[in-house]
Structure 1
């Protein structure tokens, strides 16, 4: 119930729980508008190789070796979260770095970004990837410059690898999902939007089972990619044909520059966006670089002409590096931007060292987007960075990195705007603002109780705020 004063006597009975918030801050539940649920689940049952855990390639190999010693030969060993920027060697590990420690166990080591993996020689043998193998469309097999031998480093090859590397076991999935759920509800996250481009009926069935068995409390919106969108149409797999706690949402398209040129080509991108738009469905385009953002913007503009995209809520995911001209274009066509402020905190130190100072001014331009009336939703991109929304809000407000340095201060948001982006803005990004994103009569009771008000405290204190209670769908699912 939403209201003021003392609750009506008719509601004061043993069937209802009355909660005294004791002056703490009640907010709408956080809505992570861009995460990868299964990848995050996998993180919790894989070997942690993140910068917080390892500082060298040798340490990665030892951690993987210690884990492998618990399992029979040829059991797949999964590591996750390495980032070469923070390693002593300042380079990506190769198969040769892993082979000595793990000669008999196939290893899949996932980069923190999720866009690169390292396989050891045993893994390459099992999936039959050799010197003669051809790079798949839009993917890159890294090779020794002198011999042409694969180094074990593979870029943007998920679609291929998912077909040849075994998935997690049922027990691993359930364990990882339970840990992930506790992380979400502990942080006050009541809604998730899964941006994984390989979502389809098998993933749908898995998450539906998790929801039925209350393993995952937050509501979930699943994206699907262009290929699965076509299959879904053929199989008459109904979009949005379920209750509000699990449904399908935008169709995901990956656009990138991994191969050095835009993929898919602009004409391919334009045709795919137009096809999805004609079906009356929402599109979400992964676009990080200026070239991909420009192509995505133009493709959406062509698809909706002569209309504005505001009605359709077509999205650009990330929108990491954006010129003023691109912001004007996005505003003119009414695109929704879903981005990740937490990257400034967790990756800002690397941005400051690797990106030229002039280009740094184009990173994550939240304020410019708000001034231009671009609708913004916030997410984490977990497991790329931790799924903590208060760190994201802190970064959007302060523009401060984990090392204490500032990046792009003119693009700061107010705490009110940042909180709105992580609640109502994210809900709006999937047409859910009528049922979620704010505390109002008639809306689903998704709420979090914080020990301080992020909109009325010193900005530096935002990242230290604790969640005291999480309510999903009117039920208390977590309390301190």
Structure 2
């Protein structure tokens, strides 16, 4: 038999309990064919890669990221690294100087939590932009700032800034003047002007984002919300994913989630139950190994960073502030059940524990009434969660998707808002494993750094920026963190039969590393370097490091014995 590829001289961490470590790997037709085949019976290979002792692991799978948002951020003014508001104004001014007078200055990545809660001043933004409209997207994705010029444009379109907004807030100063801060659903005021994005722009964003993913060893991503709501960029957004794939711009496997707002009532026979979905009955699971529709993304509350997540006990230092739901509780339940009936698995954003209560109740009702689906139902984040909620999540087979790198970047601010008791179980990991629940790897990029090896280090260390341990009982081992980002993520996305482990029949998605992240000190996990990334048996990053030799095993070259 002539096979496509032999990888030899590697330390392969398979994530398969039956054969946890191997030294060689045969790949054919984009899939793993065999491991550690006896040298005397190795089939002839078209190509041979000598890994030179590198560690090989399954490709990393980020089950909660925002690729278009991330890619657009690579194209927009970056405020993620500014040290002060003064620096932010200077960056805005520099960007504005190259724009026409009526063009918008669009910036990304600003985090008030990293600036002691400070928000950009609308008047200073007016001056910095030279009278151009400014739109600053917060890193949390749950708020933005606009300047006075932008507010004038919003009003000119007929918006009433004084009118209440369901699930959103237009912030005002003591005199009642809008400050330019728009929270949650209030962001639609500016999005109604700026959206939808051209499909070509979305394709370009996907190209930039997925090309970057390869450099970090990411081979699969679940995009947590497209095509609707305040997180979508076009009603035709999934079409941009398809076009990007057709044009070769989609470098990794994608599982986009439709936002609930993109679904609508679909008529059918009188005997069919009321349902919410897409025309023709399109639902979760449509697609192939490269591009497949995931669950429906449903927002129940806001963000912990913005103190808008819905919690049962008020935030420390914020009297009477419990956050809020983004829609009426009855509407949340009924719309989620309608989508589930139509065949959509649920992925419900719930950060505060009160929102988590709603999510558990809705998902368990859906499962008990209509049965379980091939993809597991999920709760995204779980920033504030109680032990009895974890018991219910595990018992119901729900996947909780936490982001440990939030701790590394925002942990001090979050701990201050929550107090010690709630911080102890915030963004849990070990508690899920102890209960036998699935723990996946995720980042919520670009809200937070999405490099998997850095997130794994956060899983293990749970250190805040000041060096405090955030919920020490929730620490896990390096081996558990690697498993989460590979096999755990596969289980969370319903793809455990095709990816997440290196064993016969699995997709040949894998990463070459310079060291074993499960065997180094926790502080050195993030220092692990990605040498190369393979998707479907093809090295798509780092090919120059591991060039494939055609048809010969380098170990046998000196004797002239051909790989057979």
TM-score, length basis structure 2: 0.79
* 1:72 partner SS: coil
CA contact (8 A) 1:224 1:250 kept: yes
CA distance in 2, matches of 1:135, 1:194: 31
* 1:18 partner SS: strand
Could you say which residue in structure 2 is the equivalent of 1:33? Answer: 63
Could you say which residue in structure 2 is the equivalent of 1:202? Answer: 236
Could you say which residue in structure 2 is the equivalent of 1:336? Answer: 399
Q: 1:143-168 deviations in whole A, cap 9, x for unaligned? A: 2232x322111011344533321555
Query: Relative to structure 2, which stretch is displaced further, 187-196 or 342-351?
Result: 342-351
CA distance in 2, matches of 1:419, 1:337: 17
CA distance in 2, matches of 1:383, 1:310: 30
Could you say which residue in structure 1 is the equivalent of 2:138? Answer: 111
CA distance in 1, matches of 2:246, 2:416: 47
2:212 to 168, 175, 183: 183
Could you say which residue in structure 2 is the equivalent of 1:278? Answer: 341
Question: 5+ residue gaps in structure 2?
Answer: 1-26, 28-33, 267-276, 303-307, 309-321, 546-564
* 1:104 partner SS: coil
Q: 1:180-218 deviations in whole A, cap 9, x for unaligned? A: 223200000000100025257511111112112222211
- When the two chains are superposed, the root-mean-square deviation of aligned CA atoms in Å is 2.4
* Bigger radius of gyration among the two: 2
Query: Relative to structure 2, which stretch is displaced further, 402-411 or 107-116?
Result: 402-411
CA distance in 1, matches of 2:446, 2:508: 27
Counting only pairs closer than 5 Å after superposition, residues 230-269 of structure 1 correspond to structure 2 as 230=264, 233-236=277-280, 238-239=282-283, 240-256=285-301, 258=308, 260-269=323-332
Q: For residues 69 and 174 of structure 1, do their structure 2 counterparts lie closer, same or farther at Cα, with a shift above 3 Å needed?
A: farther
CA contact (8 A) 1:127 1:165 kept: no
Could you say which residue in structure 2 is the equivalent of 1:294? Answer: 357
CA contact (8 A) 2:68 2:209 kept: no
2:66 matched to 1:42?
Answer: no
Could you say which residue in structure 2 is the equivalent of 1:384? Answer: 447
CA contact (8 A) 1:94 1:119 kept: no
CA distance in 1, matches of 2:288, 2:254: 10
Could you say which residue in structure 2 is the equivalent of 1:228? Answer: 262
Q: 1:290-312 deviations in whole A, cap 9, x for unaligned? A: 10011111111222226886865
TM-score, length basis structure 1: 0.92
CA contact (8 A) 2:425 2:474 kept: no
CA contact (8 A) 2:257 2:295 kept: yes
CA distance in 1, matches of 2:58, 2:299: 31
Counting only pairs closer than 5 Å after superposition, residues 139-154 of structure 1 correspond to structure 2 as 139-146=168-175, 148-154=176-182
Aligned length: 473
Q: For residues 329 and 73 of structure 1, do their structure 2 counterparts lie closer, same or farther at Cα, with a shift above 3 Å needed?
A: same
CA distance in 1, matches of 2:235, 2:286: 13
Q: For residues 312 and 217 of structure 1, do their structure 2 counterparts lie closer, same or farther at Cα, with a shift above 3 Å needed?
A: closer
CA contact (8 A) 2:103 2:133 kept: yes
* 2:171 partner SS: strand
* 1:468 partner SS: strand
CA distance in 2, matches of 1:7, 1:103: 74
Question: 5+ residue gaps in structure 1?
Answer: none
CA contact (8 A) 2:297 2:348 kept: yes
* 1:328 partner SS: helix
2:151 matched to 1:124?
Answer: yes
